[in-house]
Each structure stands twice: as C-alpha cells, then as structure tokens.
Structure 1
C-alpha cells in the first residue's frame, strides 16, 4: 500500500520535479578498502541492508496529484563492478584530478579510476527502487605490501537518506560483513511519516509553529553581502571550497570560552560567525540557517531515512554590545530554536508566504554547521 511522504521528503520530491536530471541531492561517498575484499560478501551484505531498511525498497509516485511512497517487498540489486589498471605514483602536481582522492598507498588513484568515480554519480529515477547504487572499482594490488585495493562507491538519493543514515549504513555494513547479527528494527521510516500526519503530532506542531511565526513577525531581513559580481537572476549551485585550519591553542581557548559562559562550542562559533557577517554588512538583524539531525526519539536513531531539518536562527548583533553579552543572546536564541526544532522548515517558508526571489534562498543566504565527526578508519578481517 501507499504511504504519505514526510515533510522533508515532500520538499525533496518537489525539488526533484524541477530538474529530474539534477544530481544536487545525490549523496555519494567513496571508501578506499585495502586488503582481501570478498566481492560476493559485499553484495550479500547490501542485500541484507536493503531487506532490513524499508527506505531502501521505497519508490515514489503521484497518486491523484499527491506524491506518495510505496515500499516494495523485494527490489533488483547488483553491485556495479569494474577493474582498472594501476598507475605508479606521479609527480605531476598540476593535474587537479590527482588530488581528488587521497590514498594510503604510494600510488595515486589512476585517471581511469577517477573517471569511474565521476561517472558513478548520475540522476536517480524516483519511481524505481532502490534509490541506492553501489559500485566497486578493483584497483589491483598496490603499495609496498602489494595489498589489493578497492574503491567502494555508494550513492543514494537524499529523499531516502541523510548524514546520520550514512553513518548507520556504514556501521551496519561493517557489522554484517563481520558476520554479526543485527537486532530487528521495531519501526520503519514510513511509520514516522504516518505519525507526522497524526492528530497529536499536529497539535504539537501548532505550538511549534507559533514560536517560528513569532520569530519572523515583521518580515525577514535580507543579508546584503558586498560581492565582486552582480548577483545572477537565478540562484546557481556553482561554488568552491575554501579550507583552513585553526591552531590547537585557538581551538582550546574557544572551548574554554564556551565552558566559562555556560554555552557550547556551536554557540560560540555561531556568535563569531554572525559577528563576522555583521562586520561585513553593518546589519544588526541576521538570519543564518543551520541543519539539525531531526531525530527526537531514540527509536529513530538507527533508521535510514531523511530526518534532517533546517533551523533559521535569527540574531541581533550590534556594535554597542560586548561579544560576551552578544553570546548570551545567541545562546538563548539557539536554545529556543532547538526547543522548536520539530517544525518543518518547508512549512515555515510556506506559512510566511514570502515574495519569492529566484536569486536567493527563502529565509537566509548563508548556513552554518558544526560537525564533530572524525573520519574513522574501520578495521575488519584484515581490511582497512
């Protein structure tokens, strides 16, 4: 039978309809596996994961012009397997592709392997389950110890997954590959989607809604950052990544500041970030988006699905405040936003009925996220 979509799924479904050939909402990841990988077992484990998580057997279609989700009992699944030639390490630094994937060996990933990774990410058809693809690139034996190397590639559509889901899948993959049995899941994502529509939940939502409508009473400020080019008429996703590191001493002192002020590292950094935006723009009313895991119940923590929500946090940095005073305000606003984190961002945008500007996001122009995840190295039966 068909089930309703959660509000996050609805938003992603609509975004997909705008441009079905878009890959902006694909969630690809690549793991480099060193050691004797059992290819057949990899496929078996993914079949077990697909059987375990209903989301991985879910497809989407319009029923009476309303998007609905349908969970299949079984879905066709095969690992896409390819083998490439190994290239020895090159010293050619001007080819940007050689830095795309760091390897733990003394060989660079060959151009051909890079190309396989790039071709692997392609559009999904939401009408066809599973919205998950797995690929294995056999790189042959490499490195000083001549260990066999593989690239394990995963791609999922965001409509069935989020960051926490990727962690759940990685963790369960390792446990199942190691022969562990996992306890059965008591609920599935569709149960959460149905619960979102329930009467008790709707009452709770009305209380949450009142808070957010109150926060944005009197309109939404537009961040006026000075840019070096004219803003295009339609927002584009073209961009770049700038990375920089902080000295350990700075990071220790930031943590100290958090504990001295009874706040968290997130609050300290959000206060610093919005102060920076205030210095750039001279504005004293600034809204910044922030992602939140959106899994308020312990039962939801081991599910694969899209729970992530966005909070639009409004702060008022002014030049006549000290940073410590301002931090207290940021702390209060952040705590109130967390208390009301269940209210779906897309419903807030709809309720505020804003005049849409295609060159901008609806409620904020920048986002701030603090991730405290270390990239783990997973050890497994002679594999790294």
Structure 2
C-alpha cells in the first residue's frame, strides 16, 4: 500500500492556517488519561491500539503544503509503539505519574510526520496503570475521542480473551467525508445556510468585551489554564427538570445561564457566544474518526430585562436555528459578514460554551475498572474563555444514573494573559449560584440576580 493524498476538511483547513500563523502553539493538541485499575494485559492493549490505527486512516495521516494548498497524506498502517514507564519504585507513584504526564504533554506534535496520535503507559502498581493519550486537533474532535474509547475497549476485550473482534467493518474514512464536504459547499444547501447566518448575525457586535485583569496586547501568546469545577447532582437535576418543564434541552438551560453571566461581566446586551457543534448529521459519520466539529456563533439577546424563563425561549430559538445550519464552515460565515479586524482578537469566537454530550457508553474492559479524564491542560488556551460542559449521564444515555454520575463537569479554559485564576474561580462559582437561583424560580428577571463579583 502506498501513500495517497486527501483534501482537508474545512475545520482542518482553518486550524492549518492558525498553526502556520503561530507555529509552535500547543492550544490545538489534545490530551487525556485513562486510569486502569485491575489486571492489565499490556500486550493486548498494544494490539488493540495497532488495530485502531489500521482501522482508521485519519490516525495515520500527516499534513503538508502543496502548490494547490494544504493537503493530508494518508500512510499505510504502521506498528504502534506503546512505551511503558514503570513507576512502581517511586516514593509517590501518583506524583511520578503526574510528572511524567506533564513532561510528555510539554512536547510538540509535528503535523508533517507520524505519529499525530501517540500513547504512553504508566505502571503505578501491579494493578494500577494510566494510559496517556495525545493527539493533534487536526485529527481529533470530542465525538471522535469517544468513538476511539469505545472501540479500544472492544478491541482490548477481544485480544485479552482470544475472541474475534466484535467491531463491524471499518466506517467510511475521513477522506471520504472531506471529499463530500468539498462538493457540498458548491450546492444549494450551503447557499441556504449562508443566507441564514448572514441574516441572523447582521449587525451583531463582533467582539464580547469582558472586563479583564490585564489589558490586551496585539499579539496573543495562547497561554492558559483549564481548571475543572463540578455542578453537583442536585443542581444538575434541577437544571434537567427546568429544561423538561420549558421543553428545551439541558444545553439551552446551561447556555442561557452562561449568557446571564457574560451580560453581567461585560455589560453588553447583544453579543455572540461561539460553540462547537458535532456537524455529524449524516449517519455514516457517526463511527468515523476525524475533525468534523464546526464552530457556530450563537447570538445572545439579553436586552429588556427578561425573566430567565423568557430568556430560555430566546436561547432555544437560537440553538435550534444553529443546529439546523451547523454544517456551513465558520470561516465562510465570518468572510461573508466581514467584521472589522483587530490585531490579537478573534471576531465572533473569543468566548465559547460547548456541550460534550457525544455518546460514550460505560467504559468497560475485562478485569479492569476504567476512568477516562479528557481535556488535560497543557498550559495553553484557544480563546479568551472556553467553557466545556461534560454531562456524563447524558453521554452514557443514563440520566437517572447514580448521583455521582449525574453531576456536570465544567472545564474553564482561559487566557492567563487576560485573567487571574481567582477571577475564573469566582466566575465559576457565580455561574453555579446563578443556576441555583434561576432553577429555583425561572420567573426571576435578570436584574434581580446576584451581581457578578468576578468582574470587579
């Protein structure tokens, strides 16, 4: 089998140009850890990873610039390396594991050579291991990672027990999707979606001006942190009940509360919150790995001091419109709107709120208890503020799971050149307080909610 070229998806192309403008930034590298407790068959795990790389072309794709622009080069299957670090002799194996993870994360993933995904196994004890997963966003999105985890579990189980693989034939490859997308962009549906977005976003202020702890500079350094906060099960369940009562999604409730927070933080009534949407409406993309996710700009309207219940109606309409028009590449929308450009700023997408509810069945491997922690920070930030909500119960399809699984995890990735850690912690606390207030009484007007201490 020889190498072959493949077009980039629109999301890949956008990221490619960001990387070319700012080489060396790590904001678009993804890290996760999978903690494994019990008897691990490391050889079976390595074989499962080899099968994954053989099964999905995107995991053996590199990227380069050519006369006609950037392209992907699909390579034949290659033997996957799974280095093993034995930390059992360390005075504190968990601390040694954290140090090893930090050192591994603090490296670049060059996009012009294999591998763009790599793994490392840390042995903390005979019955405790950590699998570190690193990949470049050019081959990753959150949906893909969940598919990877599910397939890894199935393939590991087959190799560990000597059973045949339970997976069906490989899904369509990512190059098939990019070819389809390129053709779709020249069709009537793309034109219809562009008309929707230009009408929906006409006249919106291009920037959301949050009060910052330090002034902006014309050149961003993409330095950041990503602390994690949790909404307890009791509060998350009240948000779910409010969503059911108003016939909206849980995402709508969480986003509406976030808009209230941003309104208090900025003083603006009209602004955009960007969000990553899966853009996987075609069934054949559901088991495909690759960067499909598309950014959409959700226009917030908090003017007129509405009640929170009334705001939910506005956010519902905005969200449903975005879901119906999520396939048009974000860059096409920005190019059509032609917002004024300011050095160091990103129009319509400086603050993001994303909802990672892509399906993820309970992670089960024979003889092991597995815990997946996605989105480890590598000290970078893509935007001013990027809040990622992970509703584990919705991911697993079990909203009535035990209380420890019904809470909602929130990752608050932020730009350290703009904000202090204490500011973000106060904002996260205020967000939870806002949710507590509005779920208790959605008739409350926004002016009656507690002022934002984090913005002082």
Give the structure-2-normalised TM-score. 0.73
Out of 191, 194, 212, the position equivalent to 1:206 is 191
Deviation at 1:372, TM superposition (A): 4.4
- The aligned residue for residue 265 of structure 2 is 280
Deviation at 1:8, TM superposition (A): 0.7
Number of residue equivalences: 359
**Where do 1:158-307 residues align within 5 Å?**
158-179=137-158, 180-198=165-183, 202-246=187-231, 248-307=233-292
- The aligned residue for residue 78 of structure 2 is 75
Write out per-residue CA displacement over residues 138-176 of structure 1, whole angstroms, 9 at most, x where no aligned residue: 2233xxxxx3x2221111111111111111111111101
Deviation at 1:367, TM superposition (A): 1.2
- The aligned residue for residue 32 of structure 1 is 35
Contact kept? 1:189, 1:305, Cα under 8 Å: yes
Write out per-residue CA displacement over residues 276-313 of structure 1, whole angstroms, 9 at most, x where no aligned residue: 22233332212101111121111111111001111100
Structure number with larger C-alpha Rg: 1
- The aligned residue for residue 118 of structure 2 is 133
SS in structure 1 at match of 2:198: helix
Gaps in structure 2 of 5+ consecutive residues: 159-164, 370-456
Residues 358, 335 of structure 1: CA spacing in aligned structure 2 closer, same or farther, 3 A cutoff?
same
- The aligned residue for residue 52 of structure 2 is 49
Write out per-residue CA displacement over residues 89-144 of structure 1, whole angstroms, 9 at most, x where no aligned residue: 6xxxxxxxxxxxxxxxxxx5033x22221222221221213311111122233xxx
Contact kept? 2:270, 2:299, Cα under 8 Å: yes
Deviation at 1:35, TM superposition (A): 2.5
Contact kept? 1:59, 1:127, Cα under 8 Å: yes
Gaps in structure 1 of 5+ consecutive residues: 90-107, 142-146
Question: Which deviates more from structure 2 when the two are superposed, residues 319-328 or residues 309-318?
Answer: 319-328
Contact kept? 1:86, 1:109, Cα under 8 Å: no
Residues 211, 5 of structure 1: CA spacing in aligned structure 2 closer, same or farther, 3 A cutoff?
same
Looking at structure 1, the residues matched to 65 and 324 of structure 2 have their Cα atoms a distance apart, in angstroms, of 34
Contact kept? 2:273, 2:297, Cα under 8 Å: yes
Residues 244, 6 of structure 1: CA spacing in aligned structure 2 closer, same or farther, 3 A cutoff?
closer
Residues 56, 64 of structure 1: CA spacing in aligned structure 2 closer, same or farther, 3 A cutoff?
same
Looking at structure 1, the residues matched to 280 and 143 of structure 2 have their Cα atoms a distance apart, in angstroms, of 9
Contact kept? 2:60, 2:114, Cα under 8 Å: yes
Contact kept? 2:204, 2:270, Cα under 8 Å: no
Looking at structure 2, the residues matched to 200 and 118 of structure 1 have their Cα atoms a distance apart, in angstroms, of 41
Deviation at 1:373, TM superposition (A): 7.2
Residues 178, 277 of structure 1: CA spacing in aligned structure 2 closer, same or farther, 3 A cutoff?
same
Residues 333, 196 of structure 1: CA spacing in aligned structure 2 closer, same or farther, 3 A cutoff?
same
Looking at structure 2, the residues matched to 139 and 281 of structure 1 have their Cα atoms a distance apart, in angstroms, of 46
Contact kept? 1:160, 1:306, Cα under 8 Å: yes
Deviation at 1:240, TM superposition (A): 3.8
Looking at structure 1, the residues matched to 361 and 170 of structure 2 have their Cα atoms a distance apart, in angstroms, of 25
**Where do 1:50-65 residues align within 5 Å?**
50-65=53-68
Looking at structure 1, the residues matched to 77 and 238 of structure 2 have their Cα atoms a distance apart, in angstroms, of 53
Residues 114, 243 of structure 1: CA spacing in aligned structure 2 closer, same or farther, 3 A cutoff?
closer
- The aligned residue for residue 383 of structure 1 is 368
Contact kept? 2:277, 2:295, Cα under 8 Å: yes
Contact kept? 1:8, 1:306, Cα under 8 Å: yes
Give the structure-1-normalised TM-score. 0.86
Write out per-residue CA displacement over residues 300-352 of structure 1, whole angstroms, 9 at most, x where no aligned residue: 11111001111100021114433222221221111111110111112222332
Contact kept? 1:221, 1:285, Cα under 8 Å: no
Residues 22, 68 of structure 1: CA spacing in aligned structure 2 closer, same or farther, 3 A cutoff?
same
Contact kept? 2:243, 2:253, Cα under 8 Å: yes
Looking at structure 1, the residues matched to 324 and 90 of structure 2 have their Cα atoms a distance apart, in angstroms, of 53
Deviation at 1:272, TM superposition (A): 1.9
Larger proportion of strand: 2
**Where do 1:99-110 residues align within 5 Å?**
109-110=94-95
Contact kept? 1:195, 1:201, Cα under 8 Å: no
Residues 211, 156 of structure 1: CA spacing in aligned structure 2 closer, same or farther, 3 A cutoff?
same
Indicate the RMSD between aligned Cα atoms, in angstroms.
2.3
Deviation at 1:244, TM superposition (A): 4.3
